[in-house]
Structure 1
């Protein structure tokens, strides 16, 4: 059973919650878009709340998973870290031996399929240059902060789009349905 007593909830944007969480008096910490904003907010939330678990809910694109599916992320990679010109594999941050190119998370929900999420500071409209089956813009940074601070991270993503040329339209069209599914999931794990 998941202990949700010392858990803080973090999402990237208010548009991902559509105000539904706030209507239910659920405290959501919003990071803003991208890895820098996500890392800063994750650190701030952990320091201010003293949480033992940070729950990251949000949207993601995928060529692999079905649209509208909830996926538990069990591995994060950086799809936009590219120092290959100096001989490093894509995804590897040079001289960062303590944190490899991937960060693994403990699975928590048997009812959800598991995925590897490629994080990058661009809205993905094509396949990522390394092995991942869903994409976002914040997750790896959140995972790295949690790992460094010894905080458990749980990440569940709603597949909002196909990470293709229509992704920006699909993402916007699916925000309300995604918020409803994420809220229902959150209420289930809190009950």
Structure 2
């Protein structure tokens, strides 16, 4: 278990917490949508809080896992980095020392684990990169954590099938998602 003083909690939007974390006096840093916003917020939070661990909680779509599953992300890839005409692999940033696949250290052995594809689009089809779930912020947070030497744990509640109805399913499943994410946050963090 981590001491609350060593942890910073990042979520994309207040919609994902539904105010439940704030009702428990848990500080949430909201990144906003997309990789640039997520990276800027992660860097700012690490500098201001001097945290040792970033816990990233949020929602995701998946064609593999079922709606309402809670998944621990085992690695992140970025689906919208495509420099293949110059001979690079999809997801690989040219001349960057940080790899296109960022692996995380698992925390919850009882949860299913999956590869999360991050991109600046609301994915509703098949990704160019093999992945089990999709989001819009995770890879950027993982990259900042890797660069700054901060541990990252990421849990994603599956709200939709990353298909044509994803936008409706996402909104309909936010409340049960926030409840489950709060439950698992409390399993990771000691508040005294």
Q: TM-score, normalised by structure 2?
A: 0.96
The residue aligned with 2:174 is: 175
How far the C-alpha of 1:15 sits from its partner, in A, is 0.3
How far the C-alpha of 1:89 sits from its partner, in A, is 1.2
The residue aligned with 2:94 is: 94
CA RMSD of aligned residues (A): 0.9
How far the C-alpha of 1:12 sits from its partner, in A, is 0.3
The residue aligned with 1:81 is: 81
How far the C-alpha of 1:66 sits from its partner, in A, is 1.1
The residue aligned with 1:38 is: 38
Unaligned 5+ segments in structure 2 are none
The residue aligned with 1:71 is: 71
The residue aligned with 1:118 is: 117
3-state SS of 1:48 partner: helix
CA distance in 2: counterparts of 1:25 and 1:67, whole angstroms:
28
Unaligned 5+ segments in structure 1 are none
Matched ranges for 1:137-152 at <5 A = 137-152=136-151
CA distance in 1: counterparts of 2:41 and 2:111, whole angstroms:
26
How far the C-alpha of 1:87 sits from its partner, in A, is 1.6
CA distance in 1: counterparts of 2:99 and 2:79, whole angstroms:
13
The residue aligned with 2:29 is: 29
CA deviations over 1:3-51 (Å, ceiling 9, x no partner): 2341110100000001111011110000000000000000011000000
Pair 1:54 & 2:54 matched: yes
3-state SS of 2:106 partner: coil
How far the C-alpha of 1:74 sits from its partner, in A, is 1.0
The residue aligned with 1:18 is: 18
| Displacement over 3 Å in runs of 4+ | none
How far the C-alpha of 1:190 sits from its partner, in A, is 2.6
CA distance in 1: counterparts of 2:2 and 2:184, whole angstroms:
15
The residue aligned with 1:165 is: 164
CA distance in 2: counterparts of 1:187 and 1:89, whole angstroms:
39
CA deviations over 1:83-111 (Å, ceiling 9, x no partner): 11212111111111x11110000011011
CA distance in 1: counterparts of 2:58 and 2:116, whole angstroms:
12
CA distance in 2: counterparts of 1:113 and 1:45, whole angstroms:
28
